Amino acid sequence: MKAPAEGTLRGIGTFLATFGIGVATYIAIADSGGGSPVCIAGGHGCQTVAESSYSHLAGINIAIFGIAGYVVLLLCALLRGDAFRMTAFIVSLVGFGYSLYLTYLELFTIDAVCQWCVASAVLMTLLFVTNAVRMLTYVGTEP
């Protein structure tokens, strides 16, 4: 099976990162107003997760770190060359790993699931796969 063209992978990365910025921004805005994201399907999972001690790192909502990561991934998707391929791979790997950790906490420690957090985790997983294929297939090639 042949890998997609790099332009296709960059387009997918652009779409996913842009959507990720939107999701993380919504979570951050909801938190900044003293509330929590509204669960689309109902329930109080988003509120429970937002009120947990795991929703902030060093006093900063983790959604802010998510926004920063998604912005870096967006820039790397828009730009060509090995430096951007490698940066996107590393940032998406870290984001994927941290998403796994947070999902574990939701399921086994917090005992609640936030739909917005799951959406972000899915987006970061897709970005990791996209950037891994881009890096493994195209690193060392001319931009």
Domain that holds residue 89: 6-138
The closest alpha carbon to 31, from 17, 51, 45, belongs to: 51
Residue 72 forms part of a structural domain: yes
The pLDDT, as a whole number, for residue 34 is: 79
> Based on the structure, what is the number of domains in the chain?
1
Indicate which CATH number applies to the domain containing 91: 1.20.1440.130
128 within some domain? yes
Has residue 1 been placed in a domain?
no
Q: What's the pTM value of the predicted model, to 2 decimals?
A: 0.94
Residue 22 lies in a domain: yes
Inside any domain, residue 12: yes
For all residues of the chain together, what is the average pLDDT?
94
Assess if residue 143 is contained within a domain. no
As a dihedral over the C-alpha atoms of residue 107, residue 109, residue 115, residue 118, rounded to 10 degrees, the angle is: -70
Spell out a b/e string for 76-112, using b for 16 or more CB atoms within 10 Å of the CB, else e.
bbeebeeebbebbbebbbebbebbeebbebbeeebeb
For residues 75 and 7, what is the distance between their CA atoms, to the nearest angstrom? 14
With respect to residue 84, please indicate whether it lies within any of the assigned structural domains. yes
> What does the pLDDT average to over 26-39?
88
pLDDT per position as a tens digit, 38-95: 888 778 899 999 999 999 999 999 999 999 999 999 999 999 999 999 999 999 999 9
